[in-house]
Amino acid sequence: MTRIFSGIKPTGHMTLGNYLGAVRQWVAADRTPDDALFCVVDLHALTVEHEPARVRRLSRQAATLLLAAGLEPQRCTLFVQSHVDEHTRLAYLLECTATDGELRRMIQYKEKAAKAQAAGDGVRLSLLTYPVLMAADILAYGAGEVPVGEDQRQHVELTRDLAVRFNQRYGHTFTVPKATHPAVAARVMDLQDPASKMGKSHENGSGIVYLLDEPGVVRKKVMRAVTDSGDDGVVYDREARPGVANLLDILGACTGGDPAALADGYSGYGALKRDVADAVVELLRPLQERHAELAADPAQVDKALREGAGRARELARPVVDRAYEAIGL
Ligand code: ADP
């Protein structure tokens, strides 16, 4: 069976975008611990201004939420990136395979570097090399599939390029992975700014639904969502009506319906927003209940992460050792 790998950064509280774009696919994968690996990629949280204690707290919170969302330690390997040294060992070899030019072309690098510069923070070198570490995360496990949201497409393409290049130069070492995206809601947009993705690292949270938002907060955020002007009713048009299309995408992802077909059932934005709010509240309810139970027992979460790291190390070490040998070390 094709092995899958994916990760989430502890840079903020997990959002509805993270869940619909990525985490839900992970839960649905239903595999064994050897062929499904999910990682809280804490090293990636250090690429921008960070608070040490917050990263640690958010890492545990992310792991707790992933378990609450339905990842079961009997059916996948859940671990924290920095607990497994193989990631950084392999990243260096891949840095010797990647070029400066191809990393500077990454869209996320350009956006985040501009933001750091505007804030007067200086651009950390790791922000540039982050996609190489991400490639190492994936290639260390011989993963064939990477279930991610749309925004990670370019980084997975780079991972493929690096794997192919390494294999051509030094002999077959890595599986060449491909990204998989959900059919609906692969890119959930900010409710206040439908031109930007709903991202947990964004500071202004009023257009972002967090997985632990209480029902009243979810409702308020959805009811205040920016919609588009126009008098031709509710239509699904991502270009001309991005705000409404985003709400229809969220509703479709929550209820299993087709967003364009759902539009026909509404004559006004108010009813649509009420249904979106109800659907999101219902989607989050079981996850929040389970999160409350798990948060009361952090030892259980830590145990799952410790065991996960042990298993991940065993899977990654032979691959990374082989890469060291192939490259001439
Ligand atoms: P963020 O950008 O919120 O900090 P990460 O980079 O940690 O999130 O991404 C974790 C996963 O969530 C990735 O697979 C990413 O593609 C997915 N993801 C993040 N934001 C969204 C979104 N708005 N819509 C769909 N998927 C998303």
Supply the Cα-derived Rg of the chain in whole angstroms: 20
Q: pLDDT tens-digit profile of 283-297?
A: 999 999 999 999 999
Look at phi and psi of residue 167 and say left if phi exceeds 0, alpha if psi is from -120 to 50, else beta: alpha
pLDDT on residue 229 = 74
Return the active site residues: 112, 197, 200
ipTM score? 0.98
Whole-number percent of the chain with pLDDT over 90? 91
Alpha carbons 230 and 246: distance in angstroms, whole number: 16
Span(s) in the chain for CATH 3.40.50.620: 4-186+298-327
CA distance 148 to 18: 9
**pLDDT of amino acid 1:** 83
Identify the pLDDT of residue 205.
Answer: 80
pLDDT at 233: 79
Name residue 4's beta-bridge partners: 36, 145
273 is in an annotated binding site: no
How far, in Å, CA of 219 to CA of 278, rounded? 8
How many CA atoms does the CB half-sphere of 181 hold within 13 Å?
14
E-only strand ranges, the chain = 4-8, 36-40, 77-80, 145-147, 178-180
CB of 200 sitting under 6 A from ligand 1: yes
pTM: 0.96
Mapping DSSP onto H, E and C, the string for 90-159 reads HHHHHHCCCCHHHHHCCHHHHHHHHHHHHCCCCCCHHHHHHHHHHHHHHHCCCCCEEECCHHHHHHHHHH
The preferred substitution site among 55, 130, 151, 191 for testing ligand 1, maximizing ligand atoms within 8 Å of CB, is 151
Tokens at 7, concatenated: 């990760």
Which H or E element spans position 61?
A: helix 52-69
Residue with CA at minimum distance from ligand 1 atom 14: 148
With CA atoms as reference, report the closest residue to 42 among 52, 32, 34: 52
By most ligand atoms within 8 Å of CB, the mutation choice from 9, 15, 18 for ligand 1 is 18
What is the bridge-based pairing of β-strands 4-8 and 36-40? parallel
With H, G, I as helix, E, B as strand and everything else as coil, classify residue 217: helix
Class of CATH domain 4-186+298-327 = alpha beta
User: From the CB of 33, is ligand 1 less than 6 Å away?
Assistant: no
Confidence of residue 55 (pLDDT cuts 50, 70, 90): very high
pLDDT > 70: percent of the chain: 98
Rounded CA gap, 167 and 181, in Å?
26
The mean of the pLDDT values for the chain is 95
Residue-wise pLDDT tens digits, 209-221: 999 999 999 999 9
Would you say the CB of residue 8 lies under 6 angstroms from ligand 1? yes
> According to the annotation, is 9 in a ligand binding site?
yes
pLDDT of residue 30: 81
pLDDT at residue 204 in the model: 64
Mean pLDDT of 47-53: 93
Mean per-residue pLDDT, 81-106 = 98
Name the superfamily (CATH) of residues 205-291: Tyrosyl-Transfer RNA Synthetase (1.10.240.10)
For residues 275-282, give the mean pLDDT: 98
CATH 1.10.240.10 domain extents, the chain: 205-291
Query: In sequence order, what E strands does 123-165 have?
Result: 145-147
Task: Assess whether the C-beta atom of 117 lies below 6 angstroms from ligand 1.
Answer: no
* Residue whose C-alpha is closest to residue 140's, from 223, 229, 58, 43: 43
- Taking only the tens place, the pLDDT of each residue in 13-41 is 999 999 999 999 999 998 999 999 999 99
